[in-house]
Chains A and B, each alone.
Chain A
Amino acid sequence: MEMEDKVQGSFTPNGNDSMFDLIRRVATTESDLQAALAGEIDAVIDPTNATPMLLQEAQETLRQSMMQYRRLINRVGATIFELELDGTTLFVNPAVTDATGYAPREIQGHNWWDVFTPGDLRAYADGFLEAVGKGDVTSYELTVRGKDGSFVFWEVNTANHYDREGKLLRILGFATDATRRKKAEEANELKSRFLAMISHELRTPLTSIKGFATTLLADEAGFTREEEHEFIGIISEEADKLTALIEQLLILTRLQAGNFKLKNEVLSIQQLLDVVRPKLDELCAKHKLSIHLPETPINLQVDKQRIATVLSNLIHNACKYSPFDTPITVNVHVCDGMAQFDITDKGRGIKPEDREIVFEAFYQVTKRPWGELHGAGLGLAICQGLVKAHGGRIWVQAQEPDSKGTTISFSLPISPPHS
């Protein structure tokens, strides 16, 4: 009785138990009843066993039941699909459109895997098929490609069709969109790394501050006056580093929230460089800095302090990753109606696959958790935010595979001469 109640509950959501009534009446033996409750309805409705009226009733009930299922399948949020073993799509419900952008008619009759796992995604299909070959899968994470080319992360369960010997006949799958969950997980992971990174970055200057402060407090140590002075100097420098880091975090937060205020003014590129030149020369003390400007003067409408920050961050990076005495050049020219700044160094370069993500905050964390870290990895994220706030863009130039060094470019809108 317990089992029957359970099955009824799931099969007849409106409390209509006629289906089970019927099954009980046509099922003549206990084993038939069990089979019926297990879902093998076809097996128990035996025409030789039933009166015409009962058969008619059975047909009608089945028809209604079919329609009820069809409505359910058409409205359910999960993608439900039925595939031949060769991938031919026998059926897919309309939910597939929300999930992937494809209409059912674009998929039905076509090879499911050709549609969803083209090219290098084929391995995902193979992994799934291998798992299904061993039996029904539960919560299988399958990555497919939507119609617009974006990735869709599916969580798939299957209730496959098998023959009486247990051989797989067709795949019946239910896929729920796990993209949002996956993104949330990634964001969470990034947040954890961010916190780990920040606590490390804050702790590093604190280590020196605490260390030297306690050194000075231990009065029996016997350091010279000069040494004591040096220790106080280090405490002050490390406190400055903490301040700079907090400042960077605040700028980045404001940029990301979109409420960063710029103090724009119209000035020529020459005037802008006059502001930033002393800082750049200081940064390039051990490198050879050269700056090339266009012959005709160009005016920009910018917050000069912020663009100065962008330039000094980029030059600082260029110096950090380049051997001493190598050239660092800033080349300013007009390109597509924008003023373009190219900053080129002869350093270790940026891998092609990293060209986009170097601008993500804490990119260094995701790339090299314990490796060579230089700073908190906020510099380029801040540059990108500031350039974008000015209506420009910033990017890493593509390069010949063997050439050394990096060129990072950013562009800013040119201001009309008489504004």
Chain B
Amino acid sequence: MPTILVVEDEPAARKFIAKNLKVRGYDVLEAEDGESGLQQARDFQPAAILLDLKLPLLDGWEFLDALQVDSYQAIVVLITALDIETDEKASKYPQVVETLIKPISAQELLNIMGRLVPIEG
């Protein structure tokens, strides 16, 4: 099963994403801050990372900067409540393939993840 890492500091939002992905058959890793998220990304090299931008310890952009120096290339989907300037900034990171603006629906989340990381491949 493909693994997806969810880096999101809001417990309820993280749970919503993780629950929906798990019930569809993904293996899900969860991180509540940028630092532990980065550690898990390096240790487990998930197929995709769902990344909140506003995070404690290491924010989403710093997370992406740190990830860029790694040889491991993940697919990153940003989940953000901050829509100002995000797209322009995100375009500098080739790993970022999608940006989801909060609030997001379960369908939206599953459609995008299903397209980017198909379960049966």
Please tell me which stretch of B68-76, B98-106, B112-120 contacts chain A, meaning at least 4 of its Cβ atoms lie within 8 angstroms of it: B98-106
Complex Cα gap A231–B53 (Å): 24
Complex Cα gap A372–B56 (Å): 5
Which of these, A207, A214, A215, A223, contacts B81 with CB under 8 Å?
A: A207
Instruction: Determine if A149 is an interface residue (Cβ-Cβ < 8 Å).
Output: no
Instruction: Determine if B97 is an interface residue (Cβ-Cβ < 8 Å).
Output: no
By the criterion CB–CB under 8 Å, are A218 and B81 in contact?
no
By the criterion CB–CB under 8 Å, are B54 and A212 in contact?
no
Tell me which residues across on chain B come within 8 A of A373, comparing CB atoms. 54
Please tell me which stretch of B16-24, B42-50, B88-96 contacts chain A, meaning at least 4 of its Cβ atoms lie within 8 angstroms of it: B16-24
Find residues 58-92 in chain B having any chain A CB closer than 8 Å to their own CB: 59, 81-82, 84
**B62: nearest residue on chain A (CB-CB)?**
A370
Tell me which residues across on chain B come within 8 A of A227, comparing CB atoms. 19
Tell me which residues across on chain A come within 8 A of B82, comparing CB atoms. 196, 200
By the criterion CB–CB under 8 Å, are B23 and A211 in contact?
no
How would residues 1 to 15 of chain B score, 1 for a CB under 8 Å from any chain A CB and 0 otherwise? 000000000101101
Q: Given A204-B10, A206-B103, A223-B23, A211–B81 Cβ distance below 8 Å?
A: no
Tell me which residues across on chain A come within 8 A of B106, comparing CB atoms. 211, 214-215, 217-218, 221
Q: Number of B residues whose C-beta is below 8 Å from A?
A: 26
Tell me which residues across on chain A come within 8 A of B17, comparing CB atoms. 211
With a 10 A CB-CB cut-off, give which of A203, A211, A370 has the most chain B CB atoms.
A211
Complex Cα gap A371–B107 (Å): 30
Complex Cα gap A227–B102 (Å): 23
Which of these, A208, A210, A215, contacts B10 with CB under 8 Å?
A: A208
By the criterion CB–CB under 8 Å, are A215 and B13 in contact?
no
Which of these, B13, B102, B107, contacts A214 with CB under 8 Å?
A: B107
Q: Given A200-B81, A206-B102, A221–B107 Cβ distance below 8 Å?
A: no
Which of these, A196, A208, A222, A370, contacts B16 with CB under 8 Å?
A: A208
Instruction: Determine if A137 is an interface residue (Cβ-Cβ < 8 Å).
Output: no
B89 to chain A, nearest CB (A): 12
A192 to chain B, nearest CB (A): 10
Complex Cα gap A88–B10 (Å): 61
By the criterion CB–CB under 8 Å, are B56 and A371 in contact?
yes
Find residues 370-388 in chain A having any chain B CB closer than 8 Å to their own CB: 370-373
Tell me which residues across on chain B come within 8 A of A203, comparing CB atoms. 81, 102-103
Instruction: Determine if A84 is an interface residue (Cβ-Cβ < 8 Å).
Output: no
By the criterion CB–CB under 8 Å, are A215 and B103 in contact?
no
**A208: nearest residue on chain B (CB-CB)?**
B12
By the criterion CB–CB under 8 Å, are B81 and A204 in contact?
yes
How would residues 182 to 211 of chain A score, 1 for a CB under 8 Å from any chain B CB and 0 otherwise? 000000000000001001100111111111
By the criterion CB–CB under 8 Å, are A215 and B54 in contact?
no
Q: Given A200-B54, A218-B106, A373-B54, A207–B13 Cβ distance below 8 Å?
A: yes
**A217: nearest residue on chain B (CB-CB)?**
B106
A218 to chain B, nearest CB (A): 5
**B16: nearest residue on chain A (CB-CB)?**
A211
How would residues 121 to 162 of chain A score, 1 for a CB under 8 Å from any chain B CB and 0 otherwise? 000000000000000000000000000000000000000000
**A373: nearest residue on chain B (CB-CB)?**
B54
Q: Given A204-B10, A211-B17, A373-B54, A221–B103 Cβ distance below 8 Å?
A: no
Tell me which residues across on chain A come within 8 A of B23, comparing CB atoms. 221-223
Tell me which residues across on chain A come within 8 A of B57, comparing CB atoms. 372
Complex Cα gap A217–B105 (Å): 10
Instruction: Determine if A234 is an interface residue (Cβ-Cβ < 8 Å).
Output: yes
Tell me which residues across on chain B come within 8 A of A234, comparing CB atoms. 12, 15-16
Instruction: Determine if A238 is an interface residue (Cβ-Cβ < 8 Å).
Output: yes
Tell me which residues across on chain B come within 8 A of A205, comparing CB atoms. 12
Tell me which residues across on chain B come within 8 A of A371, comparing CB atoms. 56, 59
**B20: nearest residue on chain A (CB-CB)?**
A215
**A218: nearest residue on chain B (CB-CB)?**
B106
**A238: nearest residue on chain B (CB-CB)?**
B12
Tell me which residues across on chain A come within 8 A of B19, comparing CB atoms. 215, 223, 227, 231
By the criterion CB–CB under 8 Å, are B103 and A370 in contact?
no
Which of these, A214, A238, A370, contacts B54 with CB under 8 Å?
A: A370
By the criterion CB–CB under 8 Å, are A210 and B105 in contact?
yes
Q: Given A199-B81, A221-B20, A222-B23, A204–B13 Cβ distance below 8 Å?
A: yes
The 4 closest A-B pairs by CB, nearest first: A211-B16, A210-B103, A208-B12, A214-B105
Given contacts A214-B106, A221-B20, 15 further A-B contacts (CB under 8 A): A196-B82, A203-B102, A204-B102, A207-B12, A207-B81, A207-B102, A208-B13, A214-B107, A215-B16, A221-B23, A222-B23, A223-B19, A234-B16, A238-B12, A370-B53
A-B contact pairs, 11 of them (CB 8 A): A200-B81, A204-B102, A211-B103, A211-B105, A211-B106, A218-B106, A223-B19, A223-B23, A231-B16, A234-B16, A372-B57
Chain A residues engaging chain B, CB cutoff 8 angstroms:
196, 199-200, 203-212, 214-215, 217-218, 221-223, 227, 231, 234, 237-238, 370-373
